[in-house]
Structure 1
């Protein structure tokens, strides 16, 4: 038996691109819960833009697998949230639909690229939301907005219907105001999907429990290195001390591959983006070209007008990294460095259960503060290793610095979402 609800709340933070005013839903574990969806996840009959002019007005003819699961669980999808264009950013300022602001402080960014989803949750517009995480795009806004965000293991949640940025890195995951809601939404979207070649057939997530006693928590020194705000480091160290007080065993350790992780991530993601975004040519997607002009001129003009500056920059850099004579110098080396990151995680997880550190090196930036792209890229230093290795990672609020939220990042072994959620719940309850 289906039910209907209305959703007509003000959106002062510009969290949404598209709102659904009248929503149908059915009974289930998510029955009637308002859920926001990042605008790069396909929704049948609802505009899906990826925060880009080039897809404005595009309405997918089908639902992504996660949307089908949410609908069957009774979730009420209330709209599509703002994001950095095609997921390329850390602030949600590169959206063609204007920036989203942070509900904690409207002069600051909410993080990115899932900033709209995080802002919608943090402001109370919705109880939970879906984001995507290619290099930290769930955990960054969760940290900046003071909520919980989970990037699942690569392959644990179907990517069918996710508009691709960097296929080998990205995952869909939940954002919520507390660990229990985050775990609930995760349990509804995790599972095997034969339409996604990277999807894995694994047992369903176990019921959430609070468990930290005796867990060995590795704390890499590199997570507190150059570029990490001392005030943020202090808050996170206090959070790690709290884990110890709750019964965990803290194990200092080292992750030498961190020095290569950021470069490996950006070469990999930009290379994959240059290939994935080739389809926006005015024939398959985008505005129809002027057929009087040459195809080359029309193609260039469509992409110049449709893509923002950051997307164009990443396409150009990725195309260069894959070009003849340079692929071995850049892309191949990036894959070797990526394997070093994987090896480091495997080595550490032989002696620890969970790895902990800051989610982000700073608190939320002020609007316009990261006009230099390099400073924005450097902000991803603590989140990209989990994407390179494909392991699950979660951000949980652990305090404030400079009056803004700070996130504690918990990273687990492959498919250990239940373990890091249990530790996060123990931390959340122990900090209440």
Structure 2
């Protein structure tokens, strides 16, 4: 089911929120053990669905009435474990709720459960999870992407109509591309980060996932807006659903020269050509643009990212909360706690981040990365002087096989080559399903100007309608075992 259909049927009384929930619970019982998109389901979901029904009877206007939503496991849910897919936070039950979850409940959504992810949002495949990997609904031998792989897989398999993820360097957009769904990352500050477990604070953003642009807009409207509890939150009203009917004729979209020369696979190149052909027929103009500093984005990103990870994850030392191995209060106890609590990728990034921030290396690495970040912003601003939007692949290839990149961290990091620049400069971006390579979906990335997030939805909606909403029904799931 699609979220808009659920809302319409619930509001008109054709189905109750509890009946919707039970339909998804039945589907979860059938498919989830094979897919493993969720870490845990919400034991209070039925009570939440009944409460939504009571609110509807009382006359409340609920824009997400009865819609089950999957929540990535690094977004705090009061009374429901939030572990970041890590042994370090096993059994942690937050006493407070993330703002985005509060807004979902206020809108009448039902929290279905917490989805699998790469530990502490570090990875590109959902293989770095203490709970085991999630399978790609299109091919069980391939990864769903990361770090929001569980959320993307759940939406693609229709285990949830919509989901929340987080995007630090592409962690909503890349799994969206691998799983054939829409994934949106807003301008930094348009969706509150309060209650999201920090990975890299200047890069992290909550993002949304859905199988249609209309569902994506519905969900994004519900969770966006200023939040006084987040000091980086912007006072900008969300108007995503209103933007769906905006005209696109006359828009200029920049084809980023550097992103088109990065070894893209045949299916990705075919999707780019098809997108250009379809949108030119809708009156959109395409212009080649250059972002010279884009070649430095991946290196700069992984320095800034690891530096902020080193700082943010220093709090998990076995003293106040989280895992603590038995022993006296000592440096050795802290070291053994961190060794046992963190997986290999988390340990790798903490060590890298500590190194680039260390005395004697700070300016050589972290300082240089910040200068590259500023140069990248200037180059992207210059590109936006010629066009309204930019177009790149979301990933150079479709989903790769399990184990293909885990032995080579650099190869895994290269999976983010098309997405990290957006986080470094804080711009909005969307991955939209745009075709196939064999049986695997391929995604393209639209990048917008700061605070012009809604324009992405207008273009994506026109492309979706022109190509027959090919992905609305999700993955066939026939081969998942």
TM-score range, shorter chain: over 0.9
Pairing partner for 1:265 from 292, 301, 313: 301
- Structure 2 residue 69 is the aligned partner of structure 1 residue 35: yes
Normalising by structure 1, report the TM-score: 0.97
Distance 2:266 2:457 in 1: 27
1:307-326 alignment runs, 5 A limit: 307-326=342-361
Q: How many residues align?
A: 431
Distance 1:32 1:356 in 2: 35
Structure 2 partner of 1:104 = 138
Cα RMSD, aligned residues only: 1.5
Distance 2:139 2:325 in 1: 42
SS in 2 for 1:396: strand
Distance 2:324 2:393 in 1: 46
Structure 1, unmatched stretches of 5+, are: none
1:412-431 alignment runs, 5 A limit: 412-431=448-467
1:104-183 alignment runs, 5 A limit: 104-183=138-217
Deviations for 1:115-174, whole angstroms, at most 9, x for unmatched residues? 000000000111000000000000000000000000001000000000000000010011
1:265-344 alignment runs, 5 A limit: 265-292=301-328, 295-344=330-379
- Structure 2 residue 253 is the aligned partner of structure 1 residue 217: yes
Distance 1:94 1:351 in 2: 40
Deviations for 1:45-90, whole angstroms, at most 9, x for unmatched residues? 0010101011111000010000000000001110000000001000
Name whichever of 137-146 and 370-379 sits farther off: 370-379
Structure 2 partner of 1:382 = 418
The structural deviation recorded for 1:295 is 1.2
- Structure 2 residue 272 is the aligned partner of structure 1 residue 255: no
Deviations for 1:278-318, whole angstroms, at most 9, x for unmatched residues? 111111222234343x5110000001001000000000000
Structure 2 partner of 1:18 = 40
Distance 1:221 1:14 in 2: 38
Structure 2, unmatched stretches of 5+, are: 1-10, 57-61, 469-481
1:236, 1:406 within 8 Å by CA — same for their partners in 2? no
Deviations for 1:411-432, whole angstroms, at most 9, x for unmatched residues? 0001111101110000110111
Normalising by structure 2, report the TM-score: 0.87
Pairing partner for 1:367 from 399, 402, 405: 402
Structure 1 partner of 2:393 = 358
1:286, 1:302 within 8 Å by CA — same for their partners in 2? no
2:144, 2:153 within 8 Å by CA — same for their partners in 1? yes
Name whichever of 337-346 and 228-237 sits farther off: 228-237
Deviations for 1:173-199, whole angstroms, at most 9, x for unmatched residues? 110001110111000111111111110
Distance 2:323 2:418 in 1: 38
Name whichever of 67-76 and 217-226 sits farther off: 217-226
Return closer, same or farther for 1:43/1:241 CA change in 2, 3 Å cut-off: same
Deviations for 1:188-241, whole angstroms, at most 9, x for unmatched residues? 111111111110111232513243211100001111113322331222222122
2:214, 2:244 within 8 Å by CA — same for their partners in 1? no
Pairing partner for 1:239 from 275, 281, 284: 275
Distance 2:435 2:383 in 1: 27
Pairing partner for 1:68 from 102, 105, 110: 102
- Structure 2 residue 404 is the aligned partner of structure 1 residue 404: no
Distance 2:190 2:423 in 1: 13
